[in-house]
């Protein structure tokens, strides 16, 4: 597709699939867009400010509960707000929860012990869990209650539906009525749902994605983030389509398609359900470098083709420390999601994340998140460019070592120093 640069001031017609178009200016008028507002504290010694403004959503810090078990019901989402998470994304909901049938066990873990010891630290987590199996009405009542009790906190609904315009419109309407602040659309669940043309089946097919994003963005009046699957050759393609089709942001990554392992006693794969298994989604520390790679690719694409002040990026994958989160922000992420990390360490993890993020900011004298967001992105280049840069650097070092490169470079003033620069001992 041809590159395009969107300006916040110009009205852009964006394809909504099926031959239709969405007027971006009209849509942004409906949604207050406040991504990327640069705030500089006047006093450099003041406490670092962790607050962020993403698509007009104000969060006390950039740490967001990623969709999954940590956002599965009222009790746990309330706990997340009380502990201080910047925002909560609920477990993905669809119209008919009766179609969602989970199995147990549905998790399997990888430990990094010496010689394959099962006692080492957990570094990888596989799940074959589906989206929420709780009735939609129950989830909607809980969203409403949470928004009534925490009107200033950001609650994001994760939604997924079958390839059916009416179903998407009904879901959006019913969820919006609860007062949630934004949608994250799950175009990325790798197991179970693709069999029903949902989740990753949409995120892996750009034509389908464009059409479905068109339906969603013509209906939704709150910001929409498209959650991307890493199970695709080039993640920038669906990310570009989602943004061009009216989404305000992209979130990456969902889990990576995996087989956790085979039990060498029973010869059966894990997680083992009645002797059988199915490939599942991989998460936790082991996926962090892969997630950074995907987020870097999306961020570069967004920077070169879109007005990044108008669109947002949410980094997800293997975050357990403030440093892990900083890496996503240095690549350009506006917010950072945590799912498996919360399952392993509990909701109090946010306090450690905030304190480690502050330590990093103090060390570098950053007073706001915007001051360092995207700072590391320009340092990614092509391998060919690395070769060119290294060749140049070696030539320069040789020149310094060997002194003058040519007799014409001798000067009268620096004559003695120039002579010394060419002596070997």
Q: Smaller CB distance to ligand FMN: residue 131 or 220?
A: 131
Q: Smaller CB distance to ligand FMN: residue 125 or 306?
A: 125
Q: Smaller CB distance to ligand FMN: residue 24 or 109?
A: 109
Q: In 306-372, which ranges are continuous DSSP H helix?
A: 322-330, 340-345, 349-364
Closest CA to 21 of 185, 217, 207: 217
How many residues appear in the chain? 425
Q: With CB under 6 A as the contact rule, which of the stretches 51-59, 143-151, 279-287, 304-312 interacts with ligand FMN?
A: 279-287
User: Whole-angstrom Cα distance, residue 116 to residue 99?
Assistant: 39
- Nearest-approach distance from CB 44 to ligand FMN, in angstroms: 33
Q: Which of 16, 53, 55, 127 binds ligand FMN (CB under 6 A)?
A: 127
339 is catalytic: no
Q: With CB under 6 A as the contact rule, which of the stretches 66-74, 142-150, 367-375, 392-400 interacts with ligand FMN?
A: 66-74
CA angle 104, 253, 32 (to 5 degrees): 120
CA angle 154, 304, 256 (to 5 degrees): 60
User: Whole-angstrom Cα distance, residue 233 to residue 18?
Assistant: 25
* Contact by Cβ (8 Å): 247, 217: yes
Residues 6 or more apart in contact with residue 117 via CB below 8 angstroms: 111
Build a one-symbol-per-residue string for 249-268: x at contacts with ligand FMN by CB under 6 A, - elsewhere. Answer: -----xx-------------
Query: Is residue 67 close enough to count as binding ligand FMN by CB under 6 A?
Result: yes
* Contact by Cβ (8 Å): 16, 217: yes
Q: Smaller CB distance to ligand FMN: residue 186 or 368?
A: 186
Q: How many residues bind ligand FMN (CB under 6 A)?
A: 27
- Nearest-approach distance from CB 186 to ligand FMN, in angstroms: 4
Q: Which of 17, 68, 203, 214 binds ligand FMN (CB under 6 A)?
A: 68
Q: Is residue 212 helix, strand or coil?
A: helix
- Nearest-approach distance from CB 254 to ligand FMN, in angstroms: 4
Q: Which of 24, 91, 109, 191 binds ligand FMN (CB under 6 A)?
A: 91
Query: Is residue 66 close enough to count as binding ligand FMN by CB under 6 A?
Result: yes
What's the first-to-final CA gap in the chain, in angstroms?
A: 60
Build a one-symbol-per-residue string for 317-356: x at contacts with ligand FMN by CB under 6 A, - elsewhere. Answer: xxx------------------xxxx---------------
Q: With CB under 6 A as the contact rule, which of the stretches 96-104, 143-151, 242-250, 311-319 interacts with ligand FMN?
A: 311-319
Q: Which of 16, 277, 283, 307 binds ligand FMN (CB under 6 A)?
A: 283
Residues 129-188 that bind ligand FMN (CB under 6 A): 129, 131, 158, 186
Residues 214-253 that bind ligand FMN (CB under 6 A): 227
- Nearest-approach distance from CB 219 to ligand FMN, in angstroms: 20
Place of tokens 């009209």: 26
Partners of 262 in beta bridges: 269
Q: Smaller CB distance to ligand FMN: residue 88 or 369?
A: 88
Place of tokens 């609860």: 178
Q: Which entry of 189, 247, 339, 354 is annotated as an active-site residue? A: 189
User: Whole-angstrom Cα distance, residue 181 to residue 136?
Assistant: 18
Residues 351-410 that bind ligand FMN (CB under 6 A): none
Q: Smaller CB distance to ligand FMN: residue 22 or 213?
A: 213
Dihedrals phi, psi of 343, to nearest 5 degrees? -65, -30
Q: Which of 15, 34, 41, 69 binds ligand FMN (CB under 6 A)?
A: 69
Partners of 154 in beta bridges: 87
Q: Smaller CB distance to ligand FMN: residue 33 or 283?
A: 283
Is the omega angle on the peptide bond into residue 253 within 30 degrees of 0, that is, cis? yes
User: Whole-angstrom Cα distance, residue 304 to residue 286?
Assistant: 29
Q: Smaller CB distance to ligand FMN: residue 318 or 332?
A: 318
User: Exposure string (b/e) for 362-378, b if CB count within 10 Å is 16 or more?
Assistant: eeeebbbbbbebbebbe
How many whole angstroms from its chain centre is CA 324? 12
Partners of 282 in beta bridges: 126, 256
Q: Catalytic residue positions?
A: 189
**Residues in contact with ligand FMN by the rule CB under 6 A:** 66-69, 91-92, 125, 127, 129, 131, 158, 186, 189, 227, 254-255, 283-284, 287, 316-319, 338-341
């Amino acid at each position: 597709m041809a590159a395009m640069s969107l300006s916040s001031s110009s009205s852009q017609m964006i394809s909504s699939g099926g031959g239709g178009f969405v007027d971006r200016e009209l849509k942004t008028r409906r949604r207050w867009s406040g991504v990327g507002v640069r705030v500089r504290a006047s006093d450099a010694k003041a406490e670092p400010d962790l607050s962020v403004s993403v698509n007009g959503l104000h969060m006390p810090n950039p740490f967001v509960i990623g969709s999954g078990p940590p956002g599965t019901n009222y009790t746990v989402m309330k706990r997340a707000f009380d502990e201080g998470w910047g925002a909560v994304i609920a477990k993905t909901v669809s119209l008919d929860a009766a179609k969602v049938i989970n199995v147990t066990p549905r998790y399997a873990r990888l430990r990094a012990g010496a010689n394959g010891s099962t006692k080492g630290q957990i570094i990888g987590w596989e799940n074959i869990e589906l989206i929420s199996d709780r009735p939609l009405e129950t989830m909607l009542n809980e969203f409403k209650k949470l928004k009534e009790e925490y009107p200033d906190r950001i609650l994001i609904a994760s939604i997924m539906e079958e390839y059916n315009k009416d179903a998407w419109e009904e879901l959006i309407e019913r969820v919006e009525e609860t007062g949630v602040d934004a949608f994250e659309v799950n175009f990325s669940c790798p197991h179970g749902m693709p069999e029903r043309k949902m989740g990753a089946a949409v995120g892996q097919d750009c034509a389908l994605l464009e059409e479905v994003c068109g339906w969603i963005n013509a209906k939704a009046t709150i910001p929409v983030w498209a959650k991307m699957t890493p199970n695709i050759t080039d993640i920038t393609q669906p990310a570009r389509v989602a943004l061009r089709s009216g989404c305000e942001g992209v979130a990456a990554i969902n889990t990576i398609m995996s087989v956790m392992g085979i039990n060498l006693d029973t010869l059966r794969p894990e997680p083992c359900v009645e002797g059988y298994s199915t490939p599942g989604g991989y998460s936790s520390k082991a996926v962090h470098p892969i997630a950074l790679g995907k987020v870097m690719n999306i961020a570069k694409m967004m920077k070169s083709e879109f007005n990044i002040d108008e669109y947002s990026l949410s980094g997800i994958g293997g975050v357990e420390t403030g440093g892990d989160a900083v890496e996503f922000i240095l690549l350009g992420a506006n917010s950072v999601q945590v799912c498996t990390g919360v399952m392993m360490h509990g909701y109090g993890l946010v306090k450690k994340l905030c304190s480690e993020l502050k330590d990093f900011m103090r060390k570098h004298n950053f007073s706001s998140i915007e001051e360092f967001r995207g700072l590391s992105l320009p340092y990614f280049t092509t391998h060919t460019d690395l070769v060119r840069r290294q060749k140049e650097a070696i030539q320069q070092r040789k020149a310094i070592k060997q002194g003058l490169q040519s007799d014409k470079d001798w000067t009268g003033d620096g004559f003695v120093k120039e002579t010394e620069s060419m002596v070997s001992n």
